[in-house]
Structure 1
Amino acid sequence: MANTAQSKKRARQAERRTEVNKARRSRIRTFLRKVEEAITGGDQKVAQEALKAAQPEIMRGVTKGVMHKNTASRKISRLSARVKGLGA
């Protein structure tokens, strides 16, 4: 457990940041799930709209440090390919 005043404060800050990051990660997952459900539904138009809404949210996670840039790009790329494949 933290002993010094500085380490106690750092522990409190870490707790708050963890909560914020957890909420951000959950929000991103929700958007991803909506895209997945739209793809499963088979409607390309709905899937494109869901992907268009999810992209900025995913990249916001990158700027906030919740997710690595390459991870976000990979997810977007794979989802885009799957949405595009619905039309074929």
Structure 2
Amino acid sequence: MPNIKSAIKRVKTSEKRRALNASQKSALRTAVKSADQAIAGTDVEAAKAALIEATKKLDKAVTKGLIHKNAASRKKSRLAKRLNALSAQG
């Protein structure tokens, strides 16, 4: 445990940020996974809604600095590509 006041504060703030980042990253992964499952299903409307939600979470994560913008773009692109293939099928 640090003795210097500023170091003590840094430990507290970094722990708070770590917990917040972890929860936001977890929510992001959940949204992407649910979009993935919705696209794997047959309901196109539910898949579109899930994709919109996942896209919002990905964009928000980029602005918060949780993930790199290219990683978010890649995930969005792959999800959209699979959704378009599903739409073309049915």
TM-score, normalisation: structure 1: 0.91
* Identity between Structure 1 and Structure 2 (%): 40
- The whole-number CA distance in structure 2 between the counterparts of 1:37 and 1:45 is 13
**What are the equivalent positions in structure 2 for 1:55-70 lying under 5 Å apart?**
55-70=55-70
Q: Number of aligned pairs?
A: 88
For the aligned residue pairs, the C-alpha RMSD in angstroms reads 1.2
Aligned to 1:78: 78
Aligned to 2:26: 26
For structure 2, list consecutive stretches of 5 or more residues without a partner in the other structure: none
For structure 1, list consecutive stretches of 5 or more residues without a partner in the other structure: none
Larger deviation: 1-10 or 69-78?
Answer: 1-10
Preserved contact between residue 43 and residue 86 of structure 1 (Cα < 8 Å): no
The letter of the residue matching 1:14 is S
CA shift for structure 1 position 43: 2.4
CA shift for structure 1 position 44: 2.2
TM-score, normalisation: structure 2: 0.89
Aligned to 2:12: 12
Aligned to 1:35: 35
Runs (4+) of structure 1 exceeding 2 A deviation are: 42-45
